[in-house]
Amino acid sequence: MELQMESIKMKQQSIFVLLILAITSLSSCEEEFIPEISSEPAQIVVEGYIEAGEGALPPFVILTRSTPFFSEFSQDTWSKLFVHDAKVVVNDGVKDYVLNEICSDDLTPEMKKNLSTLLGVDLDSSGIDFCAYLDLSFGLKGKEGGSYRLSVHADGQMLDAVTSIPQRVGLDTVWFEQPPGEPSDTLRRMLCYITDPGDQTNYYRFLTKTNNQPFASGSNSVVDDKLFNGIKFKVHLPRRSQRNEKFDPVSYGLYRVGDTAYVKWANIDKSHFDFWSTLEFNKNNQGPFSSYTRTKTNINGGLGIWGGYYVNIYKLIVK
């Protein structure tokens, strides 16, 4: 019996030693990974939109420079990313419209407030001299069915893009109801009906806000009509969280009774849809085992999006 126990102990010790050796050999094979910093020149990144419909915003374009993935950022770094003194022109098929550069540090408090509303950015709290290109003549208007070419000449580079504003397909009805689970006296979810035309492919995007907040888009803001072409269907419109909003699992995506809720429902073209769907796919699939999808751009010679919207703004009191 003692010999048997001694044999078992020796086997256990042997197994333990083998495990230690295996771990040691694995660790000795590890090499420090030092990522290569890209030496490629920075590309110009475009974010620009032109809208038509009720509540449409004036067209604007933001120009920045791309940065390497492994970079350190500060307020000064962010400010230096903006591309200044560019020639930005939009053609509506009839006339060229030159967009002029406007920076937040050059504005009065009232003008800065209006620009904050336009861009959906709190310029006072950001600490960044935020710059954008706008049509100061206010002659450029988005129209249903219109096509618009953007041309940018900056840093010795030429960029261009074309977008269109599709035909309007609005919401039929919008309402609130109790969220799933335990009944709530203070929280509601928003739903709507939409009748999708069957004679065309349609692409939609929506943003939401409550009270005086800016519109927010969330991480799943676009949908096409592949699954419901030509039929009437119901859509859940969750409330999108604001930047830096603390996550609350109880109220996430829900609206509070008594608040004023807004939905910005937009029709977009395919290239605009492809940009948001690939960008949001990457945001939703982060991590070491996630799959990577390159964000699609419609900017020739650069990165980003020049997108058209036909928008409808719906305002409701949460009941």
User: Which pLDDT belongs to residue 283?
Assistant: 80
C-alpha 218: how far from its chain's center? 7
- 6-22 per-residue burial string, b: 16 or more CB within 10 A, e: under 16: eeeeeeeeeeeeeeeee
Q: Please give the share of the chain, as a percent, with pLDDT higher than 90.
A: 60
Residue 67 pLDDT > 70? yes
Q: What is the mean pLDDT of the chain?
A: 84
Q: Please give the share of the chain, as a percent, with pLDDT higher than 70.
A: 79
User: Which pLDDT belongs to residue 3?
Assistant: 38
The residue among 115 and 273 whose pLDDT is bigger is 273
Band the pLDDT of 71: cuts 50, 70, 90: low
The sign of the dihedral angle between the CA atoms of 268, 272, 278, 284 is negative
* Domains of the chain, residue spans: 44-164, 173-297+308-317
Contact assessment for residue 306 and residue 46, using Cβ atoms and an 8 Å cutoff: yes
Residue 105 pLDDT > 80? yes
The pLDDT tens digits for 10-49 are: 444 444 444 444 444 444 444 554 555 555 678 999 999 9
User: Which pLDDT belongs to residue 13?
Assistant: 47
The residue among 182 and 306 whose pLDDT is bigger is 306
User: Which pLDDT belongs to residue 27?
Assistant: 45
User: Which pLDDT belongs to residue 31?
Assistant: 54
User: Which pLDDT belongs to residue 107?
Assistant: 84
The pLDDT tens digits for 276-302 are: 999 998 887 765 555 667 899 999 999
User: Which pLDDT belongs to residue 25?
Assistant: 45
- Separation CA 307–CA 207 (nearest Å): 15
Q: Measuring CA to CA, how many Å separate 246 from each of 10, 122, 214, 251, 292?
A: 56, 17, 16, 11, 28
Report the candidate in 190, 189, 234, 225 with the shortest Cα–Cα distance to residue 205.
225
Residue 110 pLDDT > 90? no
Mean pLDDT over 61-73 rounds to 79
pTM for this entry: 0.81
3-state secondary structure of 100: strand
Residue 262 pLDDT > 50? yes
